[in-house]
Amino acid sequence: MIGKYKQGFMESLTVHIARAFCRDGQGGNLAGVVLSTPTSLTSSQKQSIATTLNFSETVFLENKASRKYVATYYTPSTAIDFCGHATVAAFNLLRQEKRVDDEPIELSTTAGPCTVSFDGDLVFVSQQKPIFGEQVAVEEIALTLGLSAEDLTESEMTPQIVSTGLKDILVPVRDQDTLARIKPDFPAIKKLSEKYDTVGMHVFAINSGNSSVVARCRNFAPLYDIPEESATGSSNGALACYLHKVGKVDEGHLLFQQGDVLNLPSDIHVKLSVDKDGTTSVICGGKVVLDEIREMKC
């Protein structure tokens, strides 16, 4: 039993299990989604549910008014401010169930307000304006990935902390082969994340050739009990802003890929825009597949 509610016991809670950022119906990142969260559900009860589900993140939605929602997010071990893939999953499911139409939706999160919008079968979620933090020495990062400092050497790019809602260390590596060779030292990555107060590390290699894919990525967040994640919306949104800052991309519709090493191929779509003053902003989205609807006894 998860616990008592103010108005007695709750017999069951409906949880949707969905994969966001799928590629051709495959892969993606699993999330637990509670579309109608009882107001009496406490933080500790939400955490217990997320721990039981044991997905990288579980989102709890509350409908406050027409086109106005509040979301809270939990990993198996703790609450976090924002999660891109869980948000994309949640609003795709609301749309499938015809609880929302195609008009933009206001969403309140601990990281700040954002907007959910729809473009065909893609669901997009706006992120916060990028905050560019300190740079991190390649020598400090390389050993945590089982690489040499030379493997992290890339013209005009240095590992840097960037946030569009969640802080990650963005780490450029030389090429796709280097990305595949990574052997993460999870205890070392955890210590580095603690030192710099980041969620984790988002490692990427710029794609060569004429492919529509901007970069391929891997994401490590052992501090939050997520060794490697197959698709991360917030990290790729921050990456798009970073790549614009260093002159690697222009504004427009960008595609990032992730999860191939885990056999969970994922496509993360990012729309990057630039204000007159040069400030970048992003919305991040993808496709969703519903796997299961589960009743959790409480």
Q: Which residues are catalytic?
A: 57
Q: Are 30 and 292 in contact (CB under 8 A)?
A: no
Task: For 42-88, give the DSSP string.
Answer: -HHHHHHHHHHH--SEEEEEEEEETTEEEEEEE-SS-EES--HHHHH
Going by their DSSP bridges, the two strands 68-74 and 105-109 should be labelled as: parallel
Quote the CA–CA distance of 39 and 62 in Å, as a whole number. Answer: 8
Quote the CA–CA distance of 49 and 54 in Å, as a whole number. Answer: 8
First-to-last CA distance in the chain? 4
Q: Are 21 and 29 in contact (CB under 8 A)?
A: yes
